[in-house]
Amino acid sequence: MVYSAIAAVAALLALMVAYSAAKLLWKDSWILGWLRGMFGLGMLALAVVFVFIALDIFSYRQIQTEQTVATLSFDKKADQVFEVLVVDAEGVEHRYKIKGDQWQLDARIIKWTGALSNVGIKPGYRLDRLSGRYYSLEKEREEDRTVYAFNESPVGVDVWAWLREAKERLPIVDAVYGSATYLPMADEAVFEISLSAAGLVARPVNDQARSAVSGWH
């Protein structure tokens, strides 16, 4: 996996920098000891940053072709309150309570362009958040919004955000949002979320989901 390899390289850099820092900190020299110590501590801090970068990149998965990245099942608990079971591509289950009439799933996508794309490096993705909303604008403004994050970047080290901000300086990579269109929630409805390089697509799987989508349109 490309993103696992990138994460491994970042982790290796962290080890190399940490080793160099340790040599400087332990080397027996009094004259430049303070400078070496400060430089060594700075290198240790850099090693920690590389570790967090590796952890953040490791949370992304490569998009080979259009693939199913999640399945959502809805269980109505009260009026405009649903329990949602989210099963990701690796079979890991997450349960959330969503308020409202509609749901939306978002993902972060890293796209490679130019030569990197031509040599076969595929885009990567990470499921970002699940949210609900009301049909009523009044309720949307007054009621509590339910938004859940699937992944959090460690201590603010967010590679995707860095790439997004550096878009003009890094034309070989593009960090974008992928969002499934808001769709209605219904009791016992099941939706399948697919992802390609173009973005997220939500498809109703069972009759309850198809009926909800048909009635909503």
pLDDT band of residue 132 (cuts 50, 70, 90) is very high
**CA–CA dist 14, 52 (Å, integer):** 9
HEC-encoded secondary structure of the chain: CHHHHHHHHHHHHHHHHHHHHHHHHHCCCCCCHHHHHHHHHHHHHHHHHHHHHHHHHHCCEECCCCEEEEEEEEEEEECCEEEEEEEECCCCEEEEEEECCEEEEEEEEEEECHHHHHCCCCCEEEEEEEEEECCCHHHHHHCCCCEEECCCCHHHCCHHHHHHHCCCCCCCEEEEEEECCCEECCCCCEEEEEEECCEEEEEECCHHHHHHHHHHC
> Would you place residue 147 in the very low, low, confident or very high pLDDT band (cuts 50, 70, 90)?
very high
pLDDT of residue 206: 93
One-letter amino acid for residue 37 of the chain: G
pLDDT of residue 118: 58
pLDDT in tens, 187-205: 999 999 988 766 788 899 9
Q: Are 39 and 24 in contact, with CB atoms under 8 Å apart?
A: yes
Q: Is the pLDDT of residue 31 over 50?
A: no
pLDDT at 126 exceeding the cut of 50 = yes
Per residue in 83-101, pLDDT (tens digit) is 999 998 888 899 999 999 9
Under the banding of pLDDT at 50, 70 and 90, the label for residue 145 is confident
Question: Considering the chain, what is the average pLDDT of its residues?
Answer: 79
Highest mean predicted confidence (pLDDT) among 15-29, 68-82, 102-116, 142-156: 68-82
pLDDT of residue 198: 64
122 touches 95 (CB < 8 A): no
